[in-house]
Amino acid sequence: MGYAEFYRRSIDDRDAFWAEQARLIDWKEPPRTICDHSHPPFTRWFAGGTTNLCHNAVDRHLKDRADQPALIYVSTETGAERTYTFRELHGEVQRAAAALKDLGVQKGDRVLIYMPMIAEAAFAMLACARIGAIHSVVFGGFASVSLASRIEDATPKVIISADAGSRGGKVLAYKPLLDEAIRLSSHKPESVLLVDRGLAPMERVAGRDHDWAELTGRHSPAAVPCEWLDSTAISYTIYTSGTTGRPKGVQRDVGGYAVALAASMKHIFLGEPGETYFSTSDIGWVVGHSYIVYGPLIAGMATIMYEGLPIRPDAGIWWSLVEKYKVSAMFSAPTAVRVLKKQDPAFLKKYDLSSLKALFLAGEPLDEPTARWISDGLGVPIIDNYWQTESGWPILTIANGVEKKSSKFGSPGVPMYGYDVKLVHESTGEELTRPDEKGVVVIEGPTPPGFMQTVWGDDERFVKTYWQTVPGRMVYSTFDWGIRDEDGYFYILGRTDDVINVAGHRLGTREIEESISSHPNVAEVAVVGVADPLKGQAAMAFVVARDASALTDDKAKLKLEGDIMKLVDEQLGAVARPSRVHFVNLLPKTRSGKLLRRAIQAVAEGRDAGDLTTIEDPSALQQIRDLMGPIQK
Ligand code: PRX
């Protein structure tokens, strides 16, 4: 079957299509209803069925591949390197599940995971899935204020963490940040389970803090059966940024997600059982959930979990892993490739890469020079894929497992099966059907399996944030601009909201603004994303100081800029730190007081500011132009 027909079936004969895909996983009870869309925009997939993600990722493979590699852990930070077979992974996950049960964790309880890239993080996620606890993994690069807001919202019974992470040889202590976050949050976890890597000293709170090795070690061996869960039960939440400062808990189900991942591994990601998958993301991001932990394991593949930089000890490290573990498919982000591009290209030729069939890239726009450089260097297809935390798996790409198709540079590809992708006019919501018309990328419901169910604890916010009624129907907004060419290939042109994408990390400018505003000498602030050759975008802040009298010379400005950056580091984490903080006496606003963000961004990027008829005081923008001037010219 060609892809066009495969796709059409997924939309026109939805239930039959997905009933077939559902056979890719194990069910305890088979689903009774394939797609329940009786309360739009909510969609319930495979209702009546019972299954378990951990069973499908681990136990299911014991029959055929118990002694084959499942999880390959490599840290170039600590020198640790260890392969866990499916049998060993099964043992580790059960021990972790037993420890969680000891701490009173039951089905439906939340477990927040704030961990570096260590094997225990994957054990913890799978252990939660096993017993039906809802995990909420928070990116280890976030600091105490980001973490506190997530603890507050997820209300976890247990938090699993570690003494420290390490990046580029620099130890980053997690425990003090965690303690501070718990102090800031009104919700307090009953227990904290801590992996001690011996990297940083930890102060322990008696009665609350427990040692991972000690608690899991008590259960050797442990037998904790998988809890059979309703397909529509909640598997996990993952926080992501949007227009408001408050992060949203993207909530996912069990059965739909398992089917979506199994199908995507088969049709998109070359998921051959017994082969090795290497995704360079982090478990704190959606790519880590779907394509480090669950997807490859569900497909019966070995998955590499890598802690470290792509260029340390040298820029050949990833390719040496491809050679050593015979990696068949790799998944990374354009930023990482741009980092490698600055290094000696000989590293791409140093290792035997004959096992590698494709490199998948996602998370941010893939520019043509980067795509060409890595494609020529590796000699394998580069497959761009566009999706979101909300979707859980690709919305636009090429499904080479269904039909081999060529990619077009600059385009992530065509709509994936199950996604009824449209372009609509920004304000009227009318569908745009002519080639090369720019509009907002939307998805007409029902959304496919694996897609977010709702915003954790806030159905209303889910509907209000994402869904809009356009003439005749309700559509989900991706908040991305796009165009489609005459062959049906889409091109993504950036976000329509205040989300920025720094080195593939999705950040809300409002969160950064809130953090900067907490500095005593900040009266007002605007943060915008500006184009950056390496990171795709960088956050740039424009601040009106409360007391500008001290900001008379460059030294004073640099001092305040440094203080503000430090504050963001401490509150949100270094990923959110603005690349520059500029000082102005007023910010460009409309006469009704709305910040003119798009105009600020345009000027900061050296572009034309566009329509300024509503601006209150044009001199505000002129100040920014003057500040940028010497850099731009
Ligand atoms: O703006 C789009 C951009 O990243 C956003 C989603 O980020 P996140 O929720 O972190 O999920 C990443 C999952 C891969 C999108 O709204 N984006 C993601 N992939 C691409 C992209 N922009 C252009 N091309 C892509 N391939």
pLDDT in tens, 196-232: 999 999 999 999 999 999 999 998 888 999 999 999 9
Instruction: Report the alpha-carbon distance of residue 322 to residue 278 in Å, rounded.
Output: 8
Residue 156: its pLDDT value, please?
A: 98
Residue 291 near residue 280, CB atoms below 8 Å: no
Nearest ligand 1 atom to alpha carbon 385: 26
Residue 180 near residue 217, CB atoms below 8 Å: no
Pocket perturbation via mutation, ligand 1, pick of 382, 480, 489, 537 by most ligand atoms within 8 A of CB? 480
pLDDT (tens digit per residue) in 150-194: 999 999 999 999 999 999 999 999 999 999 999 999 999 999 999
- Residue 451 CA to ligand 1 centre (angstroms): 15
The distance of Cα 246 from the centroid of its chain, to the nearest Å, equals 17
Lowest pLDDT segment from 33-37, 388-392, 493-497: 493-497
Residue (of 243, 245, 239, 146) closest to 597 by Cα position: 243
Which protein residue has the closest C-alpha to ligand 1 atom 24?
A: 365
Please report, rounded to a whole number, the percentage of residues in the chain having pLDDT higher than 90.
92
Nearest ligand 1 atom to alpha carbon 495: 1
Residue (of 75, 23, 79, 71) closest to 51 by Cα position: 23
Pocket perturbation via mutation, ligand 1, pick of 416, 506, 537 by most ligand atoms within 8 A of CB? 506
Q: Give me the residue label for tokens 């007081």.
A: 593
Which protein residue has the closest C-alpha to ligand 1 atom 26?
A: 386
Instruction: Report the alpha-carbon distance of residue 131 to residue 398 in Å, rounded.
Output: 35
- Residue 335 CA to ligand 1 centre (angstroms): 12
Q: Is 371 in the pocket of ligand 1 (CB under 6 A)?
A: no
For the ranges 180-189, 342-351, 611-620, the one whose mean pLDDT is highest: 180-189
Neighbouring C-alpha atoms within 13 Å toward the C-beta of 568 = 27
Instruction: Report the alpha-carbon distance of residue 444 to residue 418 in Å, rounded.
Output: 10
Nearest ligand 1 atom to alpha carbon 389: 9
pLDDT (tens digit per residue) in 375-404: 999 999 999 999 999 999 999 999 999 999
Confidence of residue 588 (pLDDT cuts 50, 70, 90): very high
Q: Which residue has the higher pLDDT, 429 or 213?
A: 213
Neighbouring C-alpha atoms within 13 Å toward the C-beta of 94 = 17
User: Within 10 Å of residue 425's Cβ, how many Cβ atoms?
Assistant: 14
Confidence of residue 633 (pLDDT cuts 50, 70, 90): very low
- Residue 413 CA to ligand 1 centre (angstroms): 13
For residue 300, give the amino acid letter: G
- Residue 103 CA to ligand 1 centre (angstroms): 37
Q: Is the pLDDT of residue 461 over 70?
A: yes
Q: Is 498 in the pocket of ligand 1 (CB under 6 A)?
A: no
Tokens of 257: 């997600």
Instruction: Report the alpha-carbon distance of residue 611 to residue 293 in Å, rounded.
Output: 47
Q: What is the DSSP string of 278-296?
A: EE-S-TTSHHHIIIIIIHH
User: Within 10 Å of residue 552's Cβ, how many Cβ atoms?
Assistant: 9
User: Within 10 Å of residue 344's Cβ, how many Cβ atoms?
Assistant: 12
Instruction: Report the alpha-carbon distance of residue 618 to residue 165 in Å, rounded.
Output: 47
Q: Which three-class secondary structure state does DSSP give residue 116?
A: coil
Nearest ligand 1 atom to alpha carbon 397: 26
Tokens of 529: 């994303």
Instruction: Report the alpha-carbon distance of residue 272 to residue 356 in Å, rounded.
Output: 12
Q: Is 240 in the pocket of ligand 1 (CB under 6 A)?
A: yes
Residue 501: its pLDDT value, please?
A: 93
Instruction: Report the alpha-carbon distance of residue 421 to residue 10 in Å, rounded.
Output: 12
Q: Is 387 in the pocket of ligand 1 (CB under 6 A)?
A: yes
Residues constituting the chain: 633
Q: Is 526 in the pocket of ligand 1 (CB under 6 A)?
A: no
Residue 467: its pLDDT value, please?
A: 97
Tokens of 377: 């260097």
Tokens of 27: 């069910």
- Region 588-603: what's the mean pLDDT? 92
Instruction: Report the alpha-carbon distance of residue 556 to residue 541 in Å, rounded.
Output: 17
Confidence of residue 630 (pLDDT cuts 50, 70, 90): low
Q: Is the pLDDT of residue 632 over 70?
A: no
Q: Is the pLDDT of residue 299 over 80?
A: yes
Residue (of 554, 545, 503, 508) closest to 527 by Cα position: 508
Instruction: Report the alpha-carbon distance of residue 588 to residue 610 in Å, rounded.
Output: 13
- Residue 320 CA to ligand 1 centre (angstroms): 28
Pocket perturbation via mutation, ligand 1, pick of 291, 386, 465 by most ligand atoms within 8 A of CB? 386
List Cβ neighbours of 141 (8 Å cut-off, separation of 6 or more): 282, 284, 505, 573, 574, 575
Confidence of residue 243 (pLDDT cuts 50, 70, 90): confident
User: In a 10 Å sphere around its CB, with 0-12 CB exposed, 13-18 middle and 19+ buried, how is residue 630 labelled?
Assistant: exposed
Q: Give me the residue label for tokens 């923008």.
A: 621
Tokens of 517: 């505003």
pLDDT (tens digit per residue) in 123-139: 999 999 999 999 999 99
Pocket perturbation via mutation, ligand 1, pick of 287, 364, 455 by most ligand atoms within 8 A of CB? 364
For residue 421, give the amino acid letter: V
Q: Is 140 in the pocket of ligand 1 (CB under 6 A)?
A: no
- Residue 386 CA to ligand 1 centre (angstroms): 6
- Region 494-520: what's the mean pLDDT? 94
Q: Is 241 in the pocket of ligand 1 (CB under 6 A)?
A: no
Instruction: Report the alpha-carbon distance of residue 376 to residue 418 in Å, rounded.
Output: 33
pTM beyond cutoff 0.85:
yes
Which protein residue has the closest C-alpha to ligand 1 atom 3?
A: 364
Region of residue 349 (phi > 0: left; psi between -120 and 50: alpha; otherwise: beta): alpha
Residue 541 near residue 516, CB atoms below 8 Å: yes
Which protein residue has the closest C-alpha to ligand 1 atom 11?
A: 388
Please report, rounded to a whole number, the percentage of residues in the chain having pLDDT higher than 70.
99
Q: Any alpha helices (H) in 356-476, and if so which ranges?
A: 368-378, 459-466
- Residue 362 CA to ligand 1 centre (angstroms): 7
- Residue 613 CA to ligand 1 centre (angstroms): 32
Residue 257 near residue 293, CB atoms below 8 Å: no
Pocket perturbation via mutation, ligand 1, pick of 292, 359, 388, 499 by most ligand atoms within 8 A of CB? 388
**Helices and strands, number each (H, E), in the chain:** 20, 33
Residue (of 65, 53, 42) closest to 125 by Cα position: 53
Q: Any alpha helices (H) in 268-343, and if so which ranges?
A: 286-288, 295-298, 317-325, 334-341
- Residue 603 CA to ligand 1 centre (angstroms): 24
The average confidence (pLDDT) of the chain is 95
Instruction: Report the alpha-carbon distance of residue 110 to residue 134 in Å, rounded.
Output: 5
Q: Is 242 in the pocket of ligand 1 (CB under 6 A)?
A: no
Q: Is 397 in the pocket of ligand 1 (CB under 6 A)?
A: no
